Amino acid sequence: MNQNTSEQKKTESGWVKPVTEYGPLAIFLVTYYIEDLYAATAALMAATAVALAVSLVKNRRVPIMPVITAVIVGIFGALTLIFNDDTFIKMKPTIVQALLCAILLGGLLFGKTLLKPVMGSAWPMTDSGWRILTRNFGLFFAAMAVVNEIVWRTQSEEFWVNFKVFGSIALTLAFSMTQVPTLNRYKIDEPEN
């Protein structure tokens, strides 16, 4: 691990990442059940902005993916509220997943394994392993974009909200577990100090 990564990890508060990633979703869900989808959308927008501010204050930086997500939440949330049309917020997960797919698979087309800079310090692997993992996650995000489209277009609003909060997280965790054999097969053992 290089010195910058080590210093960065020392300054990060351990609770910030889970709170800033899952807090806005929890607020979205609670607000939806208390009010409605429009109030939940506004709450999600506000909670996402607060999460970015907390990350900046506590860690002195904001990771790029939460910023991208916040921009998309802001745009699609605003469109939902301005036009009083829930289609925009329901399409947001599709757009985010499709964007992640395009970034990962597009990177592979140019010989770049874009998961490695993001997760390389946590999962040291060979370049072959990173290519496989990047491809697999790219395809997973494509599948998740399609699944979101199917769910919001064919199911009730309440079903979609629960799928967005619980189903997508469960599917992501389950998929990640299926990648453990790849992680183990291509891992690089770090030398002991």
Split at pLDDT 50, 70, 90, the class of 65 is confident
Q: Which amino acid belongs to residue 57?
A: V
Residue pair 113/134 in contact (Cβ under 8 Å)? The answer is: yes
pLDDT digits (tens, 9 = 90+) for 137-147: 999 999 999 99
Whether the pLDDT of residue 15 is over 80: the answer is: no
- For tokens 């036009």, name the residue: 83
Rounded Cα gap, residues 86 and 153, in angstroms: 12
Q: Which residue has the higher pLDDT, 136 or 15?
A: 136
Structure tokens of 134? Answer: 């990047």
Whether the pLDDT of residue 163 is over 60: the answer is: yes
pLDDT digits (tens, 9 = 90+) for 83-104: 999 999 999 999 989 999 999 9
pLDDT digits (tens, 9 = 90+) for 171-180: 999 999 999 9
Mean of all residue pLDDT scores within the chain: 87
- For tokens 């699944």, name the residue: 147
Rounded Cα gap, residues 24 and 47, in angstroms: 5
Mean pLDDT within 31-45: 95
Whether the pLDDT of residue 78 is over 70: the answer is: yes
Residue pair 124/187 in contact (Cβ under 8 Å)? The answer is: yes
Rounded Cα gap, residues 152 and 92, in angstroms: 11
